Amino acid sequence: MRGNSIGRERRGLVFAMALAVAGCASTAPTPLTVYLTLPPGETPTATPTAEATPSPTEEPSPSETPSPSGSPTSPAAGCTGSEAHKEYFVNAAKDLPWDVYCAVLPSGWWLHESEYERADGGRMNVAYTNSVGDDVTMIEGRLCYDDLSICGDIFPVLGPASYDGLAGTMRDMGGGGRCVVVNPHSIPGYTVCSGSLSQAKVAQFAAAVIKVAKPGS
């Protein structure tokens, strides 16, 4: 099993909610990781993977604007995040067997944490935040480690929603949380969730995600 990750900061409430949509079991496999950004106080360590990417020298700060600035020819040029983050999405698209998507968020948002693994059909978790503490999280690939046939069904459907043109549903996660969920009963499935944003904003951000093209596509 190979994996890749960005950051190790503790996931917030909304990330836990997104994982609840996926119905994750406590025995989910732990991905082999290579860190592209490091939490304060930690130093880089060697990671047994052939796909390590040079680490940025510092984490994005709330004052930075993570608007797209990559090469127009990069498959991830439109993704929110730094150049290293965009390269991370390009590598994920190469490594994972299904289509990989990233968020395109307004100025003031940045990529907080991400990881992916290829076991059990593959899975990718991505978390974004902004300067006022809002969160947007995405899960791609296998949304449940247990029974896919009932994945996410406990959460009420509020109505239809779009994920870059894919048909999905808006789900009520309780406690003010909302998730757009696509194809939860098979692989790949996709989610966009938030515990702080309005239903309309979650729907807007889910509709605006973009697919990172695979090599040769």
- Amino acid of residue 40: P
- The model's pTM is 0.72
DSSP string, the chain: --EEEE--PPP-HHHHHHHHHHT--TTPPPPP--BSS--TT------S-TT--PPPSS---TTS-----S-TTSTTTTSSS-HHHHHHHHHHHHHSSS-EEE----TTEEEEEEEEE-GGG-EEEEEEEETT--EEEEEEE---SS-GGGTTTTSPEEEEEEETTEEEEEEEEETTEEEEEE-TTSSSEEEEEESSS-HHHHHHHHHT-EEEPPTT-
pLDDT tens figures, 150-167: 898 999 999 999 999 999
Under the banding of pLDDT at 50, 70 and 90, the label for residue 216 is confident
Under the banding of pLDDT at 50, 70 and 90, the label for residue 73 is confident
Under the banding of pLDDT at 50, 70 and 90, the label for residue 215 is confident
Q: What percent of the chain has pLDDT over 70?
A: 67
Once rounded to an integer, what is the mean pLDDT over residues 83-106? 96
User: Is the pLDDT confidence value at 9 over 80?
Assistant: no
Question: Is the CB of residue 89 less than 8 Å from the CB of residue 126?
Answer: no
Question: Is the CB of residue 66 less than 8 Å from the CB of residue 79?
Answer: no
Question: Is the CB of residue 60 less than 8 Å from the CB of residue 111?
Answer: yes
pLDDT tens figures, 13-34: 333 344 444 443 333 433 333 3
Give residue 5's pLDDT.
Answer: 64
Within 45-165, strands assigned E span 100-102, 109-117, 123-130, 135-141, 157-163
User: Is the pLDDT confidence value at 181 over 70?
Assistant: yes
Under the banding of pLDDT at 50, 70 and 90, the label for residue 56 is very low
Domain edges within the chain: 3-38+69-212
Once rounded to an integer, what is the mean pLDDT over residues 94-120? 95
